[in-house]
């Protein structure tokens, strides 16, 4: 069960951030509306939210998931792969440290250069973690994270998504939603890494036209899912889940998904 979430208010310069898609410029009024609805949904799911102020130094900083990997046993600060985002980790360090105080957690673990790692490339499935190799997370970053996770008695495996042009991060195309169930985009569903590591897990395959909805988030008794994707919504209901649809159009314009907007723990 999640108890807490850390979010950051989107800055008025979100449109100056990084994106690989051409869906138009985000409207700041809608950005704020959609972010407020997202935070409301987290509260409805029982989470206490720590809300950080907008940080105009880093246009992408509302996507806080990329700055850390947080588990029940400790936290790992990342080293984002995009140079323009490097300062975001320092900007969120204090907020994370409040939840991992000494002496219970003597220090936060970190990813150091030349390793790079974005939290959006990390998919946690119970005690196993999938680490995506992408254009933001490199081999050294993946190796360091695997070592840190092993020190906390977690297992991990690597999934290379660098050849997939349709997604930015691993979790753009995959989500573990509990109950032995993995939501996965069709292009990734037959990856041998999942057939091996997820033996016995149910795969909910996402059709190509609804790939964006593969980035859904289980938060306690609900599954947050972007609105406008009826086949994914219906598949969740048919398999016993309770989806909560949220409008994400403005964040989608900036390569952002539901998981990107919070650190949940």
Instruction: Retrieve residue 207's tokens.
Output: 């059709």
Please state the domain extents for the chain: 4-264
Active site residue 260: yes
Single out the catalytic residue among 39, 45, 123, 260.
260
pLDDT at 117: 98
**Residue 74 scores a pLDDT above 70:** yes
Yes or no: say if 112 and 144 are a contact pair by the CB < 8 Å rule.
yes
Query: Comparing C-alpha atoms, which of 197, 196, 250, 257 is closest to residue 226?
Result: 257
Reported as a single tens digit per residue, the pLDDT across 9-56 is 999 999 999 999 999 999 999 999 999 999 999 999 999 999 999 999
Task: Report the topology of domain 4-264.
Answer: 3.75.10
Single out the catalytic residue among 39, 169, 216, 233.
169
Mean pLDDT of 228-234: 98
Does the pTM surpass 0.85? The reply is yes
In the chain, the DSSP E strands lie at 4-8, 48-52, 68-71, 74-77, 109-110, 122-125, 128-133, 155-160, 174-176, 181-185, 202-206, 217-219, 222-226, 243-246, 263-264
pLDDT at 190: 87
Active site residue 169: yes
Cα–Cα distance, 143 to 47 (Å, whole number): 32
């Amino acid at each position: 069960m999640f108890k807490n979430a850390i979010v950051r208010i989107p800055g008025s310069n979100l449109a100056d951030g990084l994106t690989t898609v051409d869906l138009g410029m985000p409207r700041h009024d809608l950005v704020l509306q959609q972010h407020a609805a997202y935070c409301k949904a987290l509260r409805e799911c029982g989470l206490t939210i720590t809300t950080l102020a907008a940080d105009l130094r880093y246009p992408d900083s509302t996507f806080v998931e990329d700055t850390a990997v947080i588990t029940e046993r400790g936290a790992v600060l990342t080293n984002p792969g995009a140079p323009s985002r490097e300062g975001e980790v320092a900007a969120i360090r204090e907020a994370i440290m409040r939840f991992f105080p000494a002496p219970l957690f003597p220090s936060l673990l970190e990813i150091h250069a030349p390793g790079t790692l974005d939290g959006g490339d990390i998919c946690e499935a119970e005690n196993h973690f999938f680490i995506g190799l992408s254009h933001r997370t490199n081999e050294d970053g993946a190796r360091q994270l695997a070592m840190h996770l092993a020190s906390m008695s977690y297992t991990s495996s690597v999934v290379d998504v660098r050849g997939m042009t349709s997604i930015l991060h691993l979790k753009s195309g995959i989500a573990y939603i509990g109950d032995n169930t993995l939501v996965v985009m069709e292009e990734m569903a037959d990856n041998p890494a999942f057939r091996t590591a997820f033996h016995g897990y149910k795969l909910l395959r996402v059709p190509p036209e609804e790939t964006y909805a593969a980035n859904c988030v289980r938060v306690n008794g609900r599954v947050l899912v972007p609105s406008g994707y009826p086949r994914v919504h219906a598949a969740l209901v048919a398999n016993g889940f309770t989806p909560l649809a949220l409008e994400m159009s403005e964040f989608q314009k900036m390569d952002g998904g539901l998981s990107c907007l919070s650190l949940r723990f």
